Amino acid sequence: MSDATSLADLIAPDLAAFEAMAMEALEALPEPWRKAALGIVIRVEDFATPEMLSELEMEDPFELTGLYDGIPLTEKSVMDQPMGPDTIWLFRRAILDEWADRGNVSLGEMVGHVLVHELAHHFGWSDADIARIDPWWE
């Protein structure tokens, strides 16, 4: 892409491209996190559903880039009856909006950042754990 014409032909990555970026980010996690993270379902949608937003007391779907839906490992019990797989939701349009606002990271880095922060909810990570896995502010 060396000229404005080729830039004008670009289109936003679709849901499948976002899922591929998320899977690349999962594969890049260090052990033991990678193996455990591969058991989580990754779902990519354009926006959070109205029900999700309502449950979080949010109105603007552009404010929610990702969501963890499950019971954190630090709270799970062998007595729990699973209601479904732990799921991380990534919201394409909100991520694209934040990525454009930042303007200083690649889209793959942005997707990975959102994914890691949702994984933090699953694993019960501390801020130090997150910084080791995702050195976002370096």
Provide the residue ranges of all domains of the chain, joining segments of one domain with +: 13-73+83-133
| Percent of the chain residues past pLDDT 90, beyond the cut | 49
In the structure encoding, which two tokens stand for residue 104, read together?
Answer: 């200083």
Residue 15 has pLDDT above 90, yes or no: yes
User: pLDDT for 64-93, tens place per residue?
Assistant: 999 999 877 777 766 666 677 889 999 999
Q: Across residues 18-31, what is the average pLDDT?
A: 91
What architecture (CATH level 2) is domain 13-73+83-133? 2-Layer Sandwich (3.30)
In the structure encoding, which two tokens stand for residue 46, read together?
Answer: 């354009």
E-strand spans in the chain? 41-45, 66-69, 87-91
pTM to 2 decimals? 0.83
What pLDDT, on a 0 to 100 scale, did the predictor assign at position 47? 97
**Nearest Cα to Cα of residue 66 among 34, 43, 89, 35:** 89
Beta bridge partners of 87: 41, 69
What pLDDT, on a 0 to 100 scale, did the predictor assign at position 9? 78
What pLDDT, on a 0 to 100 scale, did the predictor assign at position 16? 95
